Copies of this chain bind each other. A is one copy, B any other.
Amino acid sequence: MTSLTQIPVTNQLLAQLPADERDVFMAACDTVELAFGEVLVEPAGQITHVYFPLDGFISLIAILVDDNRLEVAMAGREGMMGISLVLGVDEAPLSALVQGAGSALRMEAARFQLLLLSSPVLHQRLKRYLYVMMNQLARSSACNHFHQVEARLARWLLMTQDRAGSDRLQLTHEFLAMMLGVRRAGITLAAIALQARGLIHYHRGEITVLDRPGLIEASCGCYTADRALYAKVLAPS
């Protein structure tokens, strides 16, 4: 637990709350560091805390009964982890893996559910976030099915860059392969192609985004569509 004063509240779900609601809410949070690779919750496990990332970010991963796994969503400073509690269910549907180290605001689950009752603006905002997530899940479903690895990789890098807030991403091909549900060798080929086009540069576990507009063009429209929906539904009112 560290002091709140160090880090500005950059979580976009909390940033625009009315001052009174936000103060009460923040006072009930503590700030924690998320370590890369940390597993915050396993599927069917109990959600003990909610997390509002500040500069860390989290991959939400579906695990099938045959143990195939695929990243289905990401939660960074635009979102939160533990959204199921808004629906009154404290069982985690997905695995949550810290993908970018950094800080997050954390609150105990029971306290969160209580506070929600007296925070109408936050509550409404989280419901809208849930709506966006459902859409993104649906879109990802089709995207993963139809689009090629290179375009999906481009999309994924853009999503990660947004949440990392940096053009340098700590990512190995191996890790990317897990996220996209493809072979490591498949990522290597796609990465080579993106690098040859001057869109990224990478070297031993670090990928640098060189040409963001170019990367957007190389990605499928799903990246832009997701962003547009988020902006529309969660615009500051």
Q: List residues of chain A with CB under 8 Å of any chain B CB.
A: 60, 62-66, 68-70, 72-73, 84, 87-89, 93-94, 124, 127-128, 130-131, 133-135, 137-146, 181, 220-222, 224-225, 233
Contacts and interface: CB of A to CB of B under 8 A. Distances in A.
A142 B87 contact: no
16 contacts: A62-B139, A64-B221, A66-B220, A70-B141, A72-B137, A73-B138, A84-B134, A87-B131, A89-B131, A89-B233, A133-B134, A137-B137, A141-B144, A142-B181, A145-B145, A146-B181
Main SS class of interface, A:
helix
A222 B137 contact: no
Given A65-B225, A88-B128, A144-B144, 11 more contacts: A62-B139, A64-B143, A64-B146, A72-B137, A73-B138, A88-B127, A89-B127, A89-B128, A89-B131, A93-B134, A93-B135
A146 B68 contact: yes
Contacts of A141: 62, 70, 72, 137, 140-141, 144
